[in-house]
A and B are shown apart, each in its own frame.
Chain A
Amino acid sequence: MEKDRGEADVEIPVGIVHPALLEPYRPRFFLQDEVVTDCEITLDAQHRGIERMMEGIPVDKCNIITERICGICSCVHLWNSVRVVEKGLNIEVPVRAQYMRVIINELERLTSHLIFFGHALEIIGHETLGMRAFIAREPFMILLGELSGNRVHYACPIIGGIRPRCNPTEEMRKKALTMLKPAAEYLADYADRILKDAMVMSRIDGIGVLTKEEAIKYHAVGPTARASGVNWDWRTEIDDFKHFDWDVIVLDGGDVKDRVVARVLECLEILKIVEQGFKNLPEGEIRNRDWKLGKMPVTTCYHEAPRGELYDSYGLDEKGNVRHYKCRTPTVTNLGSMEVACLGEHLTDAVLTLASCDPCLCCTNR
């Protein structure tokens, strides 16, 4: 049954394939004159039925499919899926493997944030800065490609450690450090440029405000929530990140500007983590082979994906096959809170507000 839309007099449906969205989904904006009074988002276009495919397949195959949930944050899906087994069967992970997992994951978070800048700045209309995001991103993609052998699907974590091809030689470690330095300098300049650009700031300042109460009520997660003043990051709960010295970025404005600034500042924190990782990379084993698959009750793990909280949960049967697989990705709740944040804005700002939570529909629909 159609909901009562109050005073709205125009409906603007967008999608499912539309230039403004890039990924297929279907927001419907209800407008009064040009002001958004209601927004409704339909998410079904990219549903591949991954959770259904998982039922009863061997756990190592399952891990590879979890990586195909998303091509932007692929490592974190795989890592979290692997962590479920490691937590359920108490498998220890060597320190060197922990370091490499963090390094690959954080570099991926960096490239993900840089895609967001490129996309958001293009929506604003500042194409030059958007292009520069891609220039800043490319050295990190090349570094990831050289470290892991693939530019997007790194396939780094496996149960009990990391894949041998992701184990860098001493030469590679030094090369990575030298590659990192100019790229980091460029990124720092670029971040400074975004934050000081009056034109960009005038377009995003005070738009699409999500208050702390709303963020908690609609369960916004990740940088979206942290820009609204919610101090929560799952990385602080994960042992692998305890080797590193870094800060959680929390801002309290809650508008589009703060969501962009939170990610910019997070990029600089990531650079700190990656540099520490390559400098202090310990020697030693990369894989613990001392474990056996068996019956495992349903176990749940949380992780911080680039966009926020990622939830994976499944159990194993006697043969080591996956049962009751369940996965929840951050964009579901983030887009829900953006539906609220874009109310009262003009239509052009509403599209920007939706994009400002960095929606990833391929994760969300699965």
Chain B
Amino acid sequence: MLKEISRKNAVHVMLVYSGGCNGCDIEVVNCVLSPYYDIEQYKVMLTWNPREADILLVTGPVLKRIEPALKAIYEAIPDPKLVAAVGSCAINGNVFYNIGGDFGPSDEVAGPLAKVLPVAANVPGCPPRPEDIIATAAVAIPILAEMEV
């Protein structure tokens, strides 16, 4: 009970760019930080420190070069933790994973994210609208609060 309330009141989100086009990243930062959408009013804070974070937001198709760093960041986050895939790239690899010419699609992609980390929430869109990101946060935070750890 007490745990639930305290967890709900200070949710820290960490954002990792895993090699997409930056569109989602800007929308997330815009959504969390900017005074216009401002998730901070719902007590969701953006952090760059994995030890402080509760939710890991990953954008981009997870490139091989970033995969080790991403796993290290995930390990560093204390339990309970959730991973959310933001944008088409993180969910299904988008154009980088699915379209290819004579040489096939991109060789650099290790993702989609579900292959690398256990994903709890998906935010679709290329890029997702800020309203969708806020709606996903509203769904993910109760799950986080009720996790058994």
Name A residues whose Cβ lies closer than 8 Å to a Cβ of B: 16-19, 22-24, 44-50, 52-57, 61, 64-65, 68-72, 74, 115, 131, 134-135, 137-138, 141, 150-153, 321-322, 360, 362, 365
Q: A19 — nearest CB in chain B belongs to which residue?
A: B48
Q: What is the bound-complex CA distance between A196 and B16, given in angstroms?
A: 35
With contact pairs A47-B65, A48-B61, A115-B26 given, residues A53 and B36 touching in the complex (Cβ less than 8 Å): no
Is A153 in contact with B108, judged by CB distance below 8 angstroms? no
Q: Which of B1-9, B27-35, B112-120 contacts A (4 or more CB under 8 A)?
A: B27-35
Chain A CB within 8 A of B139 CB: no
* A-B contacts besides A74-B21, A137-B30, 11 pairs, CB < 8 Å: A17-B16, A47-B65, A50-B96, A52-B106, A53-B96, A53-B106, A56-B102, A131-B35, A134-B34, A151-B127, A362-B17
Q: Which residue of the partner chain, among B24, B48, B70, contacts A71 with CB atoms under 8 Å?
A: B24
Distance in Å: Cβ of A193 to nearest Cβ of chain B: 15
Q: With A65-B95, A74-B21 in contact, is A55–B127 under 8 Å at CB?
A: no
CA–CA, A48 to B65, complex, Å?
10
**CB<8 Å pairs between A and B, sample of 26:** A16-B66, A17-B73, A19-B49, A22-B25, A46-B17, A47-B63, A48-B106, A48-B109, A49-B108, A52-B107, A53-B95, A53-B100, A53-B103, A54-B101, A56-B101, A57-B101, A71-B20, A71-B23, A71-B25, A71-B26, A131-B33, A134-B33, A141-B30, A152-B23, A152-B26, A152-B27
Q: Which residues of B contact A365 (CB under 8 A)?
A: 19
Q: Which residues of A contact B35 (CB under 8 A)?
A: 131, 134-135
**Interchain CA distance A134-B37 in the complex, whole Å:** 10
Contacts A153-B23, A362-B20; A55 near B103 (Cβ below 8 A): yes
Query: Do the beta carbons of B16 and A74 come within 8 Å of each other?
Result: no
Chief secondary structure at chain A's binding surface: loop
Chain B residue with the shortest CB-CB distance to A18? B48
- Docked Cα-Cα span, A53 to B99, in Å, equals 8
- Say yes or no for B126: interface residue by CB 8 A criterion: yes
What is the CA–CA distance of A185 and B35 in the complex, to the nearest angstrom? 18
Give B126's nearest chain A residue, CB to CB.
A153
Asked whether any CB of chain A lies closer than 8 Å to the CB of B51, the reply is no
Q: With both chains docked as a complex, state the minimum distance between the C-beta of A213 and any C-beta of chain B, in angstroms.
A: 32
Main secondary structure on chain B at its contact with chain A?
loop
- The answer to whether A24 touches B95, judged by C-beta atoms less than 8 angstroms apart, is no
- Determine whether the beta carbon of B96 is less than 8 Å from that of A74: no
Residues of chain A within 8 A (CB-CB) of B66 are 16-17, 24, 45-46
How many residues belonging to B are interface residues under a CB distance threshold of 8 Å?
43
B129 within 8 A of A: yes
B-to-A contact residues, CB < 8 Å? 16-27, 30, 33-36, 48-49, 60-61, 63, 65-66, 69-70, 73, 94-96, 99-103, 105-109, 126-127, 129
B21–A68 contact, CB under 8 A?
yes
Within the assembled complex, what's the spacing in Å between the Cα atoms of A65 and B34? 29
- Which 8 A-B pairs rank lowest in CB-CB distance, beginning with the nearest? A71-B23, A19-B48, A134-B34, A56-B101, A56-B102, A57-B101, A152-B23, A71-B22
Looking at A53, A64, A137, the one whose CB has the most chain B CB atoms below 10 A away is: A53
Interchain CB contact under 8 A, A152 and B65:
no
Q: Assuming the A-B contacts A131-B35, A135-B36, A153-B23, are A49 and B107 also in contact, with contact meaning beta carbons closer than 8 angstroms in the complex?
A: yes
Alpha-carbon separation in the docked complex, A68 to B109 (Å): 15
Report the minimal beta-carbon distance from B22 to chain A, rounded to whole angstroms: 4
Contact of B101 among A64, A153, A322 (CB under 8 A): A322
Q: Which residue of A lies closest to B15 (CB)?
A: A22
Residue of A nearest to B87 (CB): A71
Partner among A44, A70, A115, A138 whose Cβ is within 8 Å of the Cβ of B21: A70
The answer to whether B96 touches A22 (Cβ under 8 A) is: no
Residues of B within 8 A of A321 (CB): 101
Other-chain residue from A44, A138, A152, A322 in contact with B127 (beta carbon distance below 8 A): A152
With most chain B CB atoms within 10 A of its CB, the pick from A46, A57, A74 is A46
Instruction: Tell me the bound Cα distance from A55 to B100 in angstroms.
Output: 8
Task: With A47-B108, A131-B33, A134-B36 as known contacts, state yes or no: A24 contacts B19, CB within 8 Å.
Answer: yes
CB <8 Å contact, B23 and A135: no
Contact assessment for A48 and B96 in the assembled complex, using a CB-CB cutoff below 8 Å: yes
